[in-house]
Chains A and B, each alone.
Chain A
Amino acid sequence: MLASFVGHAETPEEKGLAIAIEADKRDTGFIDQQADLVMILKNRHGDVSKRSIRTKTLEVKGDGDKGLTIFDSPRDVKGTAFLSHTHALTPDDQWLFLPALKRVKRIASANKSGPFMGSEFAYEDLTSQEVEKYTYKYLRDEKIDGRDTFVIERYPAYKHSGYTRQIAWVDKKMYQPLKLEYYDRKNSLLKTTTFKNYKQYIGRYWRAAEVFTMNHQTHKSTKLIWSNYRFKTGLTPRDFDRNSLKRAR
């Protein structure tokens, strides 16, 4: 359960931060993770396009995670790989591998709000969510889909975010989000993400099998279907450097 400060009532800001810290603590220690991802994009006319992606993640003590994302489809971008060394408040280090030219290109990463592969997910939505990236405020308790949640508002602390704030419905049992609302730079509701079919791995880590984002302004949506989660597979920093990026398959 939550720690309470003895002697004075917790402010909403303190409670929000405490929930974020607890959620982070419960999700730490998986060392490394691999998963397969199918991304389904749909526009307002109902046109569908698909991407197949494999992801690898490495926890880094005292810093953001390292991530490697490899594209299997569409076939013309097969072999394109994206390496990121994320940091909480300073810009991430990011490299792109372009298979046609066999070129590793370091790219500017100040743009976290840009769409990832044409989808409704921004880079900042998909990179590791460190506690220091936001300030928090607890709003209320709420029940959604029969589950008890904390409703927390969070404000990006890093520069170049595309959002003024987000509202997260955090499941009280799993300490994982069931729903996230994103508010753009004009503070209008931009998109809503829902997380479904959570499953617990190695007795501890909760991962959603399906994540769906609807952009209310463009009426475009992206569905992420995650599968084949594997943890503690023996990845090392050597699997997340420019040499491994060049031979990523």
Chain B
Amino acid sequence: MPAPGYELSGYVAGELRTFINSPLINRQQDSNLSISTQPEFYHAWNDGRDSLLFVPFLRLDENDEERTHFDVRELTWLHASDDWELRIGLRKVFWGVTESVHLVDIINQTDLVENVDGEDKLGQPMINLALIQDWGTIDLFVLPGFRERTFPGNRGRLRSIPRVNTDRAVYESSQEDKHVDFAVRWSHTLGDWDIGVAHFYGTSRDPRFLPGLDNSGNPVLLPLYELINQTSLDLQATKGNWLWKLEAIRRSGQGVTYFSTAAGFEYTFYGILESPADLGIVAEHLFDDRGRSALTPFDDDIFVGFRLTMNDAQSTEALIGAIVDRNKSTKFYSIEASRRIGDQWKLTLETRLFEQVDRRDPLFSFRQDDFLQLELAYYF
């Protein structure tokens, strides 16, 4: 039984980013302040079988007008029955098992201005019917309406050079962002194994780019959204202290048909050095068979990470990782750490470093954008 009545919760956060190196473009700034808020309104009735969820999001950014943005992350009615569940509205759906990249997570568009790791998503309109059986759950999706990816603007950092002009996106489908997309997924747990197999047909959430000019005649990149078919597999085996993970996709319709995989493991040492803290080791191999012509920087890379969980009253934890290209010089380092302060405050530290970036790498324009970020959030 869910908590009764209407519920309001959420957070307000202030974020400060400091860039360690001078920017490549004059207009870009060395430091950046922004505030964000994400309240959540929830109401359930019918013994919890029906619920309504509304989650709006707003960020106001000091320097980048593209980063100042509003989105409805969720506006959903959910109806749960004995062997089916129906969800209608704007929602976020997560698929996947790996840590460094999320290859199979296709339903939602990435809100890229939020974070360069691509884990923040825009709300996606959908009708989702889940059929729940002993042999697994089948999720059917009708996705009417497409969300375009957000990209940093002129004065923003962590962006391509030239910048992406989001006003003039190009679509393969004549229905553009009104094209109705479809997805289906089967997921199941068999003993130690969790498995998911999915297929998506519709407009790719990842754009390719076309060179163009803006109204002033300056070079820009135009996002090109093409129709694709993507089949995917996600698999996790949980054996004692070991988690074995695999994500694999096959995509056609966006240039050459290609495969991409992310495979690895997570091993946890519990109670290290006779303390309550846990230390997890994560390693993943990232592969894209397009090689040099891959749109992603992770065509043949190794990710290694350490996850430290203090298991203390303040939920202190840290994740330190590196993604190293096996063929090019590029190295990407990342540190995320967080800790609760008092009962309702949380401090999060994030550092991203782009080192020895190969000039052929899609990350090349980020080579001067190493940054340190502090976020202080108040939860209500």
The distance from the CB of A158 to the nearest CB of chain B, in whole angstroms, is 12
A34 within 8 A of B: yes
Say yes or no: B340 contacts A76, CB within 8 Å: yes
Residue of B nearest to A79 (CB): B9
Once A74-B343, A102-B93, A106-B194 are accepted as A-B contacts, the answer to whether A115 and B311 lie under 8 Å apart by CB is yes
Q: Given the complex, which residues of B lie within 8 Å of A105, measured CB to CB? A: 97
Cα distance A149–B150 when bound, in Å?
Answer: 67
B37 within 8 A of A: no
Say yes or no: A114 contacts B379, CB within 8 Å: no
In A93-148, the 8 Å CB interface with B consists of 93, 101-111, 113-115, 118
Please tell me the number of chain B residues within 8 Å of chain A, measured between CB atoms: 51
Say yes or no: A249 contacts B243, CB within 8 Å: no
Cα distance A74–B9 when bound, in Å?
Answer: 11
Residue of B nearest to A42 (CB): B313
Q: Given the complex, which residues of A lie within 8 Å of B51, measured CB to CB? A: 247, 249
The distance from the CB of B44 to the nearest CB of chain A, in whole angstroms, is 7
Q: Total A-B residue pairs with C-beta atoms closer than 8 Å?
A: 111
Cα distance A236–B47 when bound, in Å?
Answer: 14
Say yes or no: B311 contacts A242, CB within 8 Å: no
Cα distance A106–B240 when bound, in Å?
Answer: 12
In B220-278, the 8 Å CB interface with A consists of 236, 238, 240-243, 266, 268, 270-271, 276, 278
Say yes or no: A238 contacts B240, CB within 8 Å: no
The distance from the CB of B95 to the nearest CB of chain A, in whole angstroms, is 9
Q: Given the complex, which residues of B lie within 8 Å of A238, measured CB to CB? A: 82-83, 132
As a 0/1 sequence over residues 234 to 249 of chain A, the CB contacts with chain B under 8 angstroms (1 = contact) are 0010100111100111
In B1-27, the 8 Å CB interface with A consists of 1-3, 7, 9, 11
Say yes or no: B132 contacts A247, CB within 8 Å: no
Say yes or no: A75 contacts B344, CB within 8 Å: yes
Q: Given the complex, which residues of A lie within 8 Å of B94, measured CB to CB? A: 101-104
Say yes or no: A118 contacts B271, CB within 8 Å: no
A41 within 8 A of B: yes
Q: Given the complex, which residues of A lie within 8 Å of B271, measured CB to CB? A: 111, 113-114, 162
Selected A-B contacts with CB under 8 Å, 9 pairs: A49-B313, A93-B238, A106-B236, A106-B243, A108-B242, A111-B271, A118-B276, A241-B132, A242-B189
